[in-house]
Chain A
Amino acid sequence: QKEVEQNSGPLSVPEGAIASLNCTYSDRVSQSFFWYRQYSGKSPELIMSIYSNGDKEDGRFTAQLNKASQYVSLLIRDSQPSDSATYLCAVNGNDYKLSFGAGTTVTVRA
C-alpha cells in the first residue's frame, strides 16, 4: 500500500466549476498535510497546509481534513484555466519525512 494515494486523473472541469481532489494516507499518526501545485515544466509550489480536522479556506481553495478516515481533499471553486496543473498531496509522517502522492492532473476547459 502506498503511503499517500490520490484519485486517478486526469480531471477535466469546465471553467467556473468546482474541481474536487482527494487524497488518502496510510500513516495514522500523520499530523501535517499539504497540497502542492505543479505547472508543466515548473517545480511544485506549496498552496495549502492543514493540520486540524475540518475545512481551511484560502481564496478559491478549500482544504478538508478527516483524520479518522485518513483523507484530505482540495476543492477549487470557480475554476479558471490558470488552475490547470498537477496537484500533489503530501503528508508528514511521524519522523517528519514528507511523502507525496503521484498527483492529479487538472485541466480547466474554457
Chain B
Amino acid sequence: GAGVSQSPSNKVTEKGKDVELRCDPISGHTALYWYRQSLGQGLEFLIYFQGNSAPDKSGLPSDRFSAERTGGSVSTLTIQRTQQEDSAVYLCASSPLEGAFFGQGTRLTVV
C-alpha cells in the first residue's frame, strides 16, 4: 500500500532562496506532522495539523518557516530566505489519530 510520500528526496539550494517541500500523507489520515532532523540529532517538532483544527505551529523556528495543508491532505512546508543552518532532513509523518508513519524525508542542503 502507499505510504507517506515526500518530494523532492534531495534539494540543494543557494542561501537566500525560497524552497518548498511537499508531503503526500497516507489516504484517510487526519493528522500530519513536520519534523526536522539535523545530522546526529533527535527529531525537532515543527508543526502539527489535526483535522480541521488550527495547526500547532509552536515548533516553527522563525517566521521564515510556514506550512499549509490543503483539503486535509497534501502539505507543503515553505522556507523563505534559506540559511545554512536550515540544512537538515525534513520529515513528514501522517497519523490516523494515534501513532504516526513517516515518509522518507527530504534532505535539504543550503550552500
Contact = CB atoms under 8 A, between A and B. Distances in A.
Given A43-B91, A95-B50, A100 B43 contact: yes
B91 A34 contact: no
**Range, interface on chain A:** 20 to 34
Contacts of B91: 43-44
A46 B42 contact: no
Contact of B50 (A46, A90, A97): A97
5 contacts: A43-B91, A43-B103, A96-B50, A96-B98, A98-B95
Contacts of A98: 33, 93, 95, 98-100
Contact of A44 (B43, B45, B97, B98): B43
A41 to B, nearest CB: 9
B104 interface: yes
Interface in A19-73: 32, 34, 42-46, 49
Contact of A97 (B56, B103, B104): B56
Given A43-B91, A43-B102, A45-B102, A96 B43 contact: no
A85 interface: no
Interface string B1-24: 000000000000000000000000
Please report whether the interface of chain A is mostly helix, strand, loop or mixed according to DSSP: strand
Given A96-B31, A98-B33, A98-B100, 10 more contacts: A43-B91, A43-B102, A44-B43, A44-B91, A46-B100, A49-B98, A49-B99, A95-B50, A96-B95, A96-B97
A102 B102 contact: no
Contacts of B93: 44, 98
B-side interface mostly: strand
Contacts of A45: 102
A7 interface: no
A47 B101 CA distance: 11
Contacts of B102: 43-45
A100 B42 contact: yes
Nearest to A49: B99
Nearest to A6: B42
Task: Name the residue among A42, A43, A97, A102 with the largest chain B CB count within 10 angstroms.
Answer: A43
